């Protein structure tokens, strides 16, 4: 299986990305695997404790483990988003007909360079609580997305 390579260009700008993690298929295993991959392929600045939460939307599935990570990357936004989808695939993610259904791993960008880009931060405590923990641990704050 071929994986995306994270290559640093000398002098390239680095971006900070706040990631929301969620898993409910073998969650303890996939949580550790995701952390292992992201720690080895990105610069991990801070991480939250995992919290167990009830599913939202589709209810006939196990509880989730949710957490947040703050990482630094030389990739631009679109490339990093594609990289996170690749990590999900490497962890066995199958995208089924139920969007809120069970998954081995869900990695969503909540904030990019300190700017909130995912409204889930405001809508779901399973996103907000771990993100706020990471912000406190890393002495960071977030600003709302500027609209054009």
Q: Is residue 82 situated within a structural domain?
A: yes
Q: Is residue 1 situated within a structural domain?
A: no
CA 94 to centroid of chain Cα atoms? 17
Q: DSSP character for 124? A: -
| Host domain of residue 74 | 15-138
Length of the chain in residues, anyone? 148
Q: Is residue 133 situated within a structural domain?
A: yes
Question: Which is nearest to 73 in space by CA: 17, 118, 33?
Answer: 17
- pTM here is 0.86
Q: Is residue 53 situated within a structural domain?
A: yes
Distance CA 135, CA 75 (A): 21
And the tokens for 115? Answer: 């700017």
Q: How many domains does the chain have?
A: 1
Distance CA 25, CA 33 (A): 12
User: What are residue 17's phi and psi, to 5 degrees?
Assistant: -130, 125
* b/e burial code for range 34-62 (CB count within 10 A of at least 16 → b): bbebbeebbeebbbbebbebebeeeeebe
Strands 64-73 and 15-23: antiparallel
Q: Is residue 5 situated within a structural domain?
A: no
Q: Is residue 36 situated within a structural domain?
A: yes
Q: Is residue 6 situated within a structural domain?
A: no
Indicate which CATH number applies to the domain containing 22: 3.30.70.560
Tens of pLDDT along 61-91?
Answer: 899 999 999 999 999 999 999 999 999 999 9
Q: Which residues are catalytic?
A: 93, 103, 106, 108
The residue to which tokens 């490339």 are assigned: 79
Tens of pLDDT along 29-68?
Answer: 999 999 999 999 999 999 999 999 998 887 888 999 999 9
């Amino acid at each position: 299986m071929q994986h995306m390579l994270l290559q640093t260009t000398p002098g390239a700008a680095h971006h900070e990305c706040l990631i929301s993690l969620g898993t409910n298929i073998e969650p303890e295993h996939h949580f550790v695997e995701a952390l292992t991959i992201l720690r080895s392929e990105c610069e991990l600045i801070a991480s939250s404790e995992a919290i167990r939460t009830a599913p939202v939307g589709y209810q006939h599935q196990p509880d989730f483990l949710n957490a947040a990570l703050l990482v630094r990357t030389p990739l631009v936004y679109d490339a990093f988003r594609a990289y996170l989808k690749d990590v999900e695939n490497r962890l066995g993610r199958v995208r089924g007909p139920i969007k809120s259904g069970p998954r081995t791993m869900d990695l969503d960008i909540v904030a990019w360079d300190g700017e909130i880009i995912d409204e889930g931060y405001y809508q779901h405590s399973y996103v907000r609580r771990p993100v706020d923990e990471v912000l406190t641990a890393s002495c960071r704050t977030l600003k709302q997305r500027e609209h054009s």
